[in-house]
């Protein structure tokens, strides 16, 4: 047998092997995907840690085939956190761990959580997020092209200012308060007699530093980590006027492009990271409060009558906003909180 006769066949066979292995490596590199995840706060805060935890669990469970890259400080929307939802819906951002406040301009149902003095404690928040109202809120997000996967928590928002202790609505009279760029907040602080100014978180600290604004509202974790006491905010009122849940979510087209296994990994990792972050945020609050007091901040707590005065002063916000949120969702939330 003349081996040279077989050479072309052998070459062709080898070439075939090369093509197969090339196409294998191409298809595996197409499969290995990186998704961008937007957050407002970095991993110095529980919020950013929630996103990092999600990324860690996804990388681990997908053997590195699916990775999440977290972009903190609203950098994917140039600092404009109220554009995060639109950017995710349009596919500029693949995923996010975002605040219900920041997404509420595009998803009005999310204003449910911002209704002043509506959910008094963490039990109420859990009843709503884990109940029928929570499901309706997720359906509202999904109907706008974003797939919600799990809840996290920024926390109950407390009021700070540089001027003096606040234990009555009158104490807010004329104070310039930085609020997030969501219209409901404008209404709440106007109803309280304050002078609210909408600005992004990126602009908030400079505005507090220069005294352009007198006060702000954020959870204890944010006050503590961002050292808001160092920018003249010497007075803090614990009024639990609203809780700011976070939502882990993915753009609809991105979600549709994933395999069933990848979706399961993403969803389960989000649920675990969210539960982990919620527990941590709540556990850390007492130590954070102690640290804040130690730094010389005057902390004011409200008695029942003082609390009631704030509730009454903000009733008009409910009148205005319940129809915009949808009275069925608000009623469902009430029922969830009453354990019905």
Residues that bind ligand X2X (CB under 6 A): 40-41, 81, 99, 101-102, 154, 180, 201, 218, 222, 244
DSSP state at residue 2: -
Contact 117, 315 (CB under 8 A): no
The residue (of 89 and 178) whose beta carbon lies closer to ligand X2X is 178
**Degrees to nearest 5, angle at CA 176 with 172 and 177:** 80
Minimum Å distance from CB 296 to ligand X2X?
A: 23
Minimum Å distance from CB 180 to ligand X2X?
A: 5
The residue (of 36 and 81) whose beta carbon lies closer to ligand X2X is 81
Instruction: Give the CA diameter of the chain.
Output: 105
Minimum Å distance from CB 204 to ligand X2X?
A: 6
CB atoms within 10 A of CB 261: 12
Separation between Cα atoms, residue 211 and residue 235, nearest integer Å: 14
The residue (of 216 and 314) whose beta carbon lies closer to ligand X2X is 216
Give the residue nearest to ligand X2X (CB). Answer: 201
Instruction: Report CA-CA distances (Å) from 320 to 101, 137, 257, 258, 325.
Output: 17, 19, 40, 41, 10
Minimum Å distance from CB 239 to ligand X2X?
A: 16
The residue (of 214 and 262) whose beta carbon lies closer to ligand X2X is 214
The residue (of 98 and 134) whose beta carbon lies closer to ligand X2X is 98
Beta bridge partners of 198: 179
Minimum Å distance from CB 339 to ligand X2X?
A: 29
Contact 324, 121 (CB under 8 A): no
The residue (of 66 and 222) whose beta carbon lies closer to ligand X2X is 222
Minimum Å distance from CB 225 to ligand X2X?
A: 11
Minimum Å distance from CB 265 to ligand X2X?
A: 27
Minimum Å distance from CB 244 to ligand X2X?
A: 6
Separation between Cα atoms, residue 167 and residue 239, nearest integer Å: 9
Minimum Å distance from CB 15 to ligand X2X?
A: 56
The residue (of 89 and 157) whose beta carbon lies closer to ligand X2X is 157
DSSP state at residue 121: S
Q: What three-state secondary structure class fits 19?
A: helix
Contact 159, 166 (CB under 8 A): yes
The residue (of 58 and 246) whose beta carbon lies closer to ligand X2X is 246
Please give the distance of CA 287 from its chain centroid, rounded to a whole number: 22
Beta bridge partners of 35: 68
Burial of 26 (0-12, 13-18, 19+ CB in 10 A): exposed
Closest CA to 71 of 55, 86, 83: 55
The residue (of 62 and 216) whose beta carbon lies closer to ligand X2X is 216
Concatenating the DSSP letter of every residue in 271-336 gives HHHHHHHHHHHHHHHHHHHHHHHHTTPEEEE--HHHHHHHHHHTHHHHHHHHHHH-HHHHHHHHHH
């Amino acid at each position: 047998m003349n081996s040279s006769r077989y050479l072309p066949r052998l070459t062709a066979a080898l070439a075939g092997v090369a093509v197969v292995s090339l196409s294998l490596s191409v298809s595996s590199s197409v499969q290995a995907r990186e998704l961008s995840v937007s957050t407002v706060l970095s991993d110095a805060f529980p919020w950013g840690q929630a996103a990092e935890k999600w990324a860690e669990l996804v990388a681990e469970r997908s053997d590195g085939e699916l990775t999440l890259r977290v972009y903190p400080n609203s950098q994917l929307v140039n600092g404009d956190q109220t554009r995060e939802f639109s950017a995710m819906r349009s596919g500029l951002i693949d995923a996010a761990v975002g605040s219900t406040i920041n997404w509420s301009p595009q998803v009005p149902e999310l204003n449910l959580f911002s209704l002043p003095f509506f959910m008094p404690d963490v039990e109420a928040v859990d009843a709503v997020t884990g109940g029928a109202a929570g499901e309706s809120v997720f359906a509202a997000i999904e109907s706008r092209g974003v797939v919600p996967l799990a809840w996290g928590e920024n926390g109950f928002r407390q009021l700070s200012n540089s001027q003096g202790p606040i234990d009555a609505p009158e104490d807010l009279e004329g104070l310039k308060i930085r609020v997030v760029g969501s219209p409901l907040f404008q209404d709440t602080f106007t109803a309280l007699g304050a002078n609210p100014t909408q600005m992004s978180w990126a602009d908030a600290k400079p505005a507090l530093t220069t005294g352009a604004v007198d006060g702000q509202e954020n959870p204890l974790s944010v006050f503590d980590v961002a050292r808001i006491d160092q920018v003249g905010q010497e007075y803090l009122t614990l009024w639990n006027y609203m809780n700011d849940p976070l939502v882990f979510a993915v753009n609809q087209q991105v979600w549709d492009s994933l395999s069933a296994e990848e979706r399961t990994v993403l969803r389960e990792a989000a649920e675990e990271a969210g539960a982990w972050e919620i527990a941590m945020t709540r556990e850390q609050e007492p130590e954070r409060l102690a640290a804040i007091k130690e730094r010389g901040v005057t902390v004011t707590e409200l008695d029942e009558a003082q609390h009631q005065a704030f509730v009454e002063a903000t009733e008009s916000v409910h009148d205005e906003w319940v129809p915009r949120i949808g009275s069925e969702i608000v009623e469902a939330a009430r029922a969830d909180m009453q354990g019905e």
